[in-house]
C-alpha cells in the first residue's frame, strides 16, 4: 500500500489501515507530515507481516516511534530518509530488527559517526544508505571494513 504525500493522512487513518489490513507486507507513508509516533505504535503492534516500511520525510517521527517498530520481526526494508528528529538513540532500536536487509538513513542529520558504528551488529544488512549525513565518507570507510558484505551508499 503506497500512501505518498497525502497531506491529510493522519494517525487515525493509519489506525484504520492497520485494523483492516493486518496481513499487509508493504507500506509506504513517505512525505506525510501528520503521521506521528502514535501511528508507528499502531503499525508496530498490528502489522507483524510487514516486510517493507518507508517513512521518508515524515517529519514528526522521533526515536520513540522507532522503538514501537521492534515487533516487526519480518521487516526487511526500512527507509527513514530526511527524518530530522531521529538521533543515535533510535539506532539502538533499529538493531532489534534482525531481518533488516536495507536501511536508508539519508539526510538524517541527527546521526553521528559513533551512532552509525553500532550498525555493525546488523549481520543481515546488505545495503545501508547514509548520504547527506555528517562525516559520511569517513563513516563509509570504517563501515565498509567492518561490514564487507554490506554495500554502503554515501
Q: Where are the domains of the chain?
A: 11-153
**What are the residue ranges of helices labelled H in the chain?**
11-20, 37-46, 63-67, 88-94, 113-117, 136-146
Residue 106 has pLDDT above 90, yes or no: yes
Q: Do β-strands 127-129 and 26-28 pair in parallel, antiparallel, or remain unpaired? A: unpaired
Q: What is the pLDDT of residue 64?
A: 97
Residue 118 grid coordinates: 553500532
The band of 108, judged by pLDDT with boundaries at 50, 70 and 90, is very high
- Within its chain, how far is the Cα of 123 from the centroid? 17
Residue percentage of the chain with pLDDT more than 90:
91
CATH class of 11-153: alpha beta
The band of 136, judged by pLDDT with boundaries at 50, 70 and 90, is confident
The model's pTM is 0.95
**Mapping DSSP to helix (H, G, I), strand (E, B) and coil, where does residue 22 land?**
coil
Q: What is the pLDDT of residue 134?
A: 80
Q: What is the pLDDT of residues 59-102, one digit of tens each?
A: 999 999 999 999 999 999 999 999 999 999 999 999 999 999 99
The band of 4, judged by pLDDT with boundaries at 50, 70 and 90, is very high
Average pLDDT over residues 122-132: 95
Taking the C-alpha atoms of residue 6 and residue 34, their distance in angstroms, rounded to an integer, is 9
Residue 138 has pLDDT above 90, yes or no: no
Residue with cell 546488505: 126
Task: Give the count of alpha carbons within 13 A of 122, CB side only.
Answer: 28
Amino acid at each position: 500500500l503506497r500512501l505518498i504525500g497525502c497531506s491529510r493522512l493522519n494517525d487515525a487513518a493509519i489506525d484504520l489501515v492497520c485494523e483492516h489490513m493486518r496481513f499487509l507486507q508493504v507500506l509506504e507513508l513517505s512525505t506525510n507530515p501528520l503521521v506521528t509516533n502514535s501511528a508507528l505504535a499502531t503499525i508496530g503492534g498490528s502489522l507483524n507481516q510487514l516486510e517493507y516500511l518507508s517513512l521518508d520525510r515524515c517529519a514528526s517521527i522521533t526515536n520513540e516511534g522507532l522503538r514501537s517498530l521492534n515487533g516487526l520481526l519480518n521487516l526487511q526494508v526500512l527507509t527513514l530518509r530526511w527524518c530530522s528528529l531521529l538521533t543515535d538513540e533510535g539506532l539502538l532500536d533499529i538493531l532489534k530488527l534482525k531481518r533488516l536487509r536495507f536501511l536508508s538513513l539519508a539526510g538524517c542529520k541527527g546521526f553521528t559517526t559513533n551512532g552509525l558504528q553500532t550498525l555493525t551488529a546488523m549481520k543481515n544488512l546488505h545495503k545501508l544508505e547514509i548520504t547527506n549525513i555528517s562525516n559520511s565518507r569517513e563513516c563509509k570507510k570504517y563501515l565498509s571494513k567492518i561490514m564487507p558484505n554490506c554495500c554502503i551508499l554515501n
